[in-house]
Amino acid sequence: MTAAVQPDHWVRPDPVQVRDEIGRDRLLGMFRKMLLIREFEERAELAYKAKKIAGFLHLYIGQEAVATGFFDHLSPGRDATVTTYRCHAQGLLSGLNPDELMAELYGKATGNVKGKGGSMHFFSKEKSFLGGHGIVGGQVPVGIGAAFSAKYRGTGGVSVTFLGDGAVPQGTFHESLNMAGLWGLPAIVVIENNQYGMGTACHRAVAVADMAALKAPGYGVEAITFDGLDLFASWKAGQRAVAIARANKPVLVEAKTYRYRGHSVSDAGLYRSKDEVERYKALDPIERVQTSLLEAGWLTDDAATTEREAVVERVRAALDFAERSPEPDLSELTRHVYAE
């Protein structure tokens, strides 16, 4: 079934070289962001189980390196991003306030979208974060539209569209990539292949294993593949993708990654073995960055503990803010349904 894949689609950098290229402060910055995303979601999971958060909750735990490596090359406000319902990391990386994001999970009036969207629908016009989207594949035309807009207006911006492997067989994905290739749009499309669409293994849903490498040529767009559990690979892949897109060439990227939690918090996970999950947990992207920082002498054990405590404190403050915030007023029910 699998056709030959060009080896140069793979971005497999030497981690020590990339670490030096990134530099101490920038790498520490990404480390902090990944810690914040992880802590934010672990605490949200507990709040959900305590019935403080209703609706759905899809966690990104395990996938943090993918969005973190790409966002490091973007300027929110100029470059647009859009993703799925699994949108907490992208919201935080856009620079949105953790207080408002947590309050959104709680459905409070102070939330990022006034408590009306919940976990799946973070959004910010100012940061050009065009949202979390619940319809599988629904965000892909939005991301391509943002790339069209950037080129048409001559802003120099690019768009980054994140999607799951489960969206690859959707019509919207193919129609959008065709337009991106046809019109030479500054579009980066990142498939976060976490190996499952809900409980369906990828190989039972998508005809080819190397999705970017094999599908990109059909639309005249470039392809990049990388290990999504490795921040250094993600950062290099993001660097290459952004350089391509800024020259008005679209690029299709596949991150081979894994989610440690179920599809959503209510998923019992009966479709995969505990051993499989443990195997991937041993490759944890955050632990690997910490090890690399320690090896470089850019972090000590004590400083790592301090970093982690700071993040725990930040998320605790966000939880307090969410808890203390009021419910939306009943008069809000019909507002923001149509443009006002």
Ligand X SMILES: Cc1ncc(C[n+]2csc(CCOP(=O)(O)OP(=O)(O)O)c2C)c(N)n1
- Rounded to whole angstroms, how far apart are CA atoms 38 and 63? 10
Residue nearest to Mg ion (CB): 164
Which range touches ligand X (CB under 6 A), out of 105-113, 121-129, 131-139, 214-222? 131-139
161 binds ligand X (CB under 6 A): no
Does 165 sit near Mg ion (CB under 5 A)? yes
**309, containing H or E segment:** helix 301-324
Q: Report 262-321 residues binding ligand X (CB under 6 A).
A: 263
The two structure tokens encoding residue 75: 């300027």
CB 215 within 8 A of CB 208: yes
All residues at 6 or more sequence positions from 275 whose CB lies less than 8 Å from its CB, including other chains: none
16 binds, among ligand X, Mg ion, none (CB under 5 to 8 A by kind): none
Q: Distance between CA atoms of 32 and 180, rounded to whole angstroms?
A: 34
Identify the residue among 16, 54, 135, 296 touching ligand X (CB under 6 A): 135
Taking CB within 5 to 8 Å according to partner kind, which of Mg ion, ligand X, none is near residue 226? none
Write out the binding residues for ligand X, residues 165-184 only, by CB under 6 A: 165-167
Distance CA 63, CA 313 (A): 23
| 164 is an interface residue for Mg ion by CB under 5 A | yes
Q: Is 133 in the site for ligand X (CB under 6 A)?
A: no
What are the φ and ψ backbone dihedral angles of 146, each rounded to 5 degrees?
-65, -35
Q: Burial level of 102, CB count in 10 A (0-12/13-18/19+)?
A: buried
Asked if 112 is part of the footprint of ligand X (rule: CB under 6 A), the reply reads no
- Does 62 participate in binding ligand X (rule CB under 6 A)? no
DSSP 191-238: EEE-SEETTEEGGGT-S-S-HHHHHGGGGT-EEEEEETT-HHHHHHHH
Residues 6+ apart with CB under 8 A from 182: 220
State the binding string over 201-240 for ligand X (x if CB under 6 A, else -). ----------------------------------------
Q: From the list 90, 139, 194, 239, which residue makes contact with Mg ion (rule: CB under 5 A)?
A: 194
Alpha-carbon span 50 to 199, nearest angstrom: 25
| Closest to ligand X by CB, 176 or 239 | 176
Binding mask 75-94 for ligand X (x = CB under 6 A): ---------x-x--------
Among ligand X, Mg ion, none, residue 157 binds (CB under 5-8 Å by kind): none
164 lines the binding site for ligand X (CB under 6 A):
yes
Alpha-carbon distance of 145 to 179, in angstroms, equals: 10
Minimum distance from residue 109 beta carbon to ligand X (Å): 27
Task: Out of 83, 176, 194, 290, name the contact with ligand X by CB under 6 A.
Answer: 194
Q: Which residues bind Mg ion (CB under 5 A)?
A: 164-165, 194, 197
Q: Which residues bind ligand X (CB under 6 A)?
A: 84, 86, 134-136, 164-167, 194, 196-198, 263
